[in-house]
Amino acid sequence: MAERQLKELLQAAVEAAELAAPVIRGYFGSRRMGLERKADGSPVTKADREAEAAIRARLAAATQAGPIDILGEEQGFTGTGTRWRWTIDPIDGTRAFVRGIPLFGSMIGLEDTADGRALLGVIHLPMLGVTYAGARGLDATRNGAALLLPAEVTLEDAIVGTGDVAQFEEAGRLEDYRRLVALHGYVRGYTDCFGHGLAIEGALGAMLDPALNPWDLVPTCALVEAAGGSVVIRPSKSPGKFDALFGNRALVARLDRELEFSPPAFR
């Protein structure tokens, strides 16, 4: 995909996330959000469904690279099997959203299904007014300001983030969580895309987050790599999901070794 097309599609993704924000804010703290439980037990609301519809409509109008498939958390897959695929999580952190915790956001990614590469990513935190945007070969930004992770950060000087303990249990990685806590005294649970954003901007040195769906991972991969960091991904024991370690390159490499996150052949 040409750089010009990628820039235009990145702008379309930013606009799509911004279009969904008023929908999400309108339901935040409301008794009319229509909370339900999906088959897997996870929560879903009217805000999730309406926000995804708004995002899909804007992305469908972005035809710079021709037709692009869409995979969304709430509406599933639509398309014809093209090389390019949008991923959408309209509210990453619905558990926080329904409890009035403002640390949730919309995640939009674009991937090349021919080789599995994440091409661009947008994370928008509507209650905090923060937008991360970036693409392969282009800058990563936070509200328009360029982000560049340092070449190295020591474990002793870093805060390491994790997803929920329930995710480690789902992925069969509780021992990884225990080893990480034993290794480092500053491990904190900044879950969902809020934690991902902290790793992208370098506030967290790294984050260990298992049992992720593609729509949770594609935007983050593109953003971390655009910011100069690295991502290690392994297939999860939870079917169809992935376990990820991402952030500062040097710290990710050290944690990969210390936790034996990847098989030896991949380290």
pLDDT at residue 1 greater than cutoff 90: no
Give the torsion through C-alpha atoms of 210, 29, 37, 161, to 10 deg: 10
pLDDT higher than threshold 80 for residue 138: yes
pTM exceeding 0.85 = yes
In the prediction, which pLDDT does 38 show? 84
Where in the chain are the domains?
3-147, 155-258
**82 touches 91 (CB < 8 A):** no
Tokens of 240: 């169809």
pLDDT at site 264: 58
Structurally, at CATH architecture level, domain 155-258 sits in 3-Layer(aba) Sandwich (3.40)
3-class SS letters over the chain: CCHHHHHHHHHHHHHHHHHHHHHHHHHCCCCCCCCEECCCCCEECHHHHHHHHHHHHHHHCCCCCCCCEEEECCCEEECCCCCEEEEEEEEECHHHHHCCCCCCEEEEEEEECCCCEEEEEEEEECCCCEEEEEECCCCEEECCEEECCCCCCCHHHCCEEECCHHHHHHCCCHHHHHHHHHHCCCEECCCHHHHHHHHHHCCCCEEEEEEECHHHHHHHHHHHHHCCCEEEEEECCCCCCEEEEEECHHHHHHHHHHHCCCCHHHC
Q: Is the pLDDT of residue 9 over 60?
A: yes
Task: Inform me whether the pLDDT recorded for 267 exceeds 90.
Answer: no
Q: What is the pLDDT of residue 149?
A: 96
What sign does the CA torsion over 211, 214, 216, 220 have?
A: positive
Mean pLDDT lowest among 63-77, 123-137, 170-184, 211-225? 63-77
- 40-44, 103-107, 118-122: least confidently modelled range: 40-44
The mean pLDDT of the chain is 94
User: Do 155-258 and 3-147 fall under one CATH topology?
Assistant: no
Q: What percent of the chain has pLDDT over 70?
A: 99
In this predicted model, what pLDDT tens digit does every residue of 11-50 receive, in sequence order?
Answer: 999 999 999 999 999 999 988 888 888 888 788 999 999 9
**pLDDT for res 219:** 98
Residue 242 has pLDDT above 70, yes or no: yes
| φ and ψ of 245, to 5 deg | -130, 125
- Name which of 192, 200, 204 is nearest 96 in CA terms: 192
pLDDT of 170 above 70: yes
**Options 1.10.357.10, 3.20.20.20, 3.30.540.10, 3.30.365.10; CATH of 3-147:** 3.30.540.10
CA distances (Å), origin 79, targets 8, 18, 69, 72, 165: 20, 23, 4, 11, 35
